[in-house]
Amino acid sequence: MGLLANIKGMGDYKKYLKTLILAIALAFLTLYIAFGLMFFAIEGNTVPGWFILLTFAISFIIFTVFYESKVKSKSKSGKKDKERLKSLIKGLFFGICATFAFVAVIGGVRLTVDQGFELIGGLGSFISALAICMIVSMVFLSLLRPS
């Protein structure tokens, strides 16, 4: 019986570890997006336009194909044109969001590499900001979890 309890406890451990890793990854993503916005406010847009356009094109294609594959599996033939237009609009929206996030993360990484932690107040301020982002990401994960 003790072995069965240990295995069940191990499953809970994996769930906690997965949630912790996801919260930390989202916190770093959020933090570097914020640093990217700071970088663009200080330096201006130093990312080439062709790179932004290429990033948008790739993310637009990925999200559009993702939503079109969902449409193919559940729609009837009469509503396909309307559903394809919806998948294009969703792909456009999420492509813009992904491009913004990716370019901002690149700016955040450039800010920390170029200026270090002096701009944001040192390592203590960085860890405090990361902790706040971890709390916010856990709140978002809890709200987005299906009930």
Instruction: Flag whether pLDDT at 117 surpasses 90.
Output: no
DSSP 122: S
The number of folded domains in the chain is 1
Distance in Å from the first CA to the final CA of the chain: 31
Q: Cα–Cα–Cα angle for 93, 95, 97, nearest 5°?
A: 70
pTM greater than 0.95 = no
Cβ-defined contacts of 137-140 (< 8 Å, 24+) = 137/22, 137/23, 137/24, 137/26, 137/27, 137/30, 138/19, 138/23, 140/26
Q: Over the stretch 59-107, which tens digit does the pLDDT of each residue have? A: 999 999 988 887 776 656 557 778 888 888 999 999 999 999 999 999 9
Least confident of 3-7, 8-12, 90-94: 3-7
- Mean predicted lDDT score pLDDT of the chain: 83
Percent of the chain residues topping a pLDDT of 70 = 85
The enclosing H or E element of 110 equals: helix 80-115
Q: Which two tokens stand for residue 7?
A: 């295995």
DSSP 119: T
Separation of alpha carbons 87 and 74, rounded Å:
13
Host domain of residue 139 = 2-144
Q: Over the stretch 37-58, which tens digit does the pLDDT of each residue have? A: 988 898 887 888 899 999 999 9
Separation of alpha carbons 34 and 24, rounded Å:
15
What DSSP line would sit under 38-102, residue for residue? HHHHHH---S-HHHHHHHHHHHHHHHHHHHHHHHHHH--GGGHHHHHHHHHHHHHHHHHHHHHHH
Confidence (pLDDT) at 16: 83
Instruction: Flag whether pLDDT at 128 surpasses 70.
Output: yes
